[in-house]
Amino acid sequence: MRYNQIMCGRYTLRRADLAAAALRALQQPTFEEFSEIHRPGLYNIAPSQSVPVVRLNGEGQRTIGLVRWGLIPSWSKELPKLQPINARAETVATSGMFRQALERRRCLVPADGFYEWQGAKPPKQPYFMRLADDGIFAFAGLWERWRVSENKEPLDTFTIITTSASETMSPIHSRMPVILDQADYDKWLDRTRKGSDVVDLLKPFTGALETRPIGTRVNSVKNDAPDLIEPISKAG
């Protein structure tokens, strides 16, 4: 399968066991098991992995459970080769791939950092980004439920929306994931709001963001350890 790697192809949730409380979400059984297994956290989340995502249940409550990264539209008749991990904020409302999800299936993707690579050609320099207070935040996400057939279990998948880079991010990359303000979580999740009512939230992050160059061990998804985010000098 192929992934549409526009930007934001790796991120962290180093305190997965705290994500439910940070986003005021009820824990689904799968998340409780996941949180126990993955303590203290995830340092190199990559496409195709099933990771915590916050959605509204039928009663309008926030719930946190596991969803696979790489969107499969509900209307797809077979497993597509292209499973986008990102959606562009500028075209998400008009794209046939994303517009239905924007209208009815928006989600929060908990994170406490993300990676990006600087440079047009290899070797690229990886960077780690986090909030200045190193708190848990949420990316703006979309999710879909896909069934290969009626007698098979459905598969839930998601994508992360990206936008143009903030002033802090622009020296590293031209784009960045949409980091929602906490005050906008309810608005983003509210299913009574149309997509046109929430696209104004899809903007560059204006809060304090810390960036640091790191080592190249993050390049391999097999590596998942605290030392991945340790800073290095550019000379190093």
Assess whether the previous peptide bond of 123 is cis (omega < 30° from 0): yes
User: Helix, strand, or coil here: 185?
Assistant: helix
User: What are the tens digits of pLDDT across the range 28-46?
Assistant: 988 888 887 777 689 999 9
Active site residue 167: no
Active site residue 90: no
CA–CA dist 187, 180 (Å, integer): 10
Q: Which two tokens stand for residue 203?
A: 């903007």
- Across residues 53-58, what is the average pLDDT? 96
- Across residues 6-35, what is the average pLDDT? 89
User: Helix, strand, or coil here: 32?
Assistant: helix
Mean pLDDT score across all residues of the chain: 91
How does 42-68 read in b/e, with b if 16+ C-beta sit within 10 Å? bbbbbbeebbbbbbbeeeeebbbbebb
Are 83 and 67 within 8 A, CB to CB?
Answer: no
Model confidence, pTM:
0.93
Q: Choosing from 59, 90, 107, 116, which is the catalytic residue?
A: 116
DSSP 8-state secondary structure symbol assigned to residue 39: -
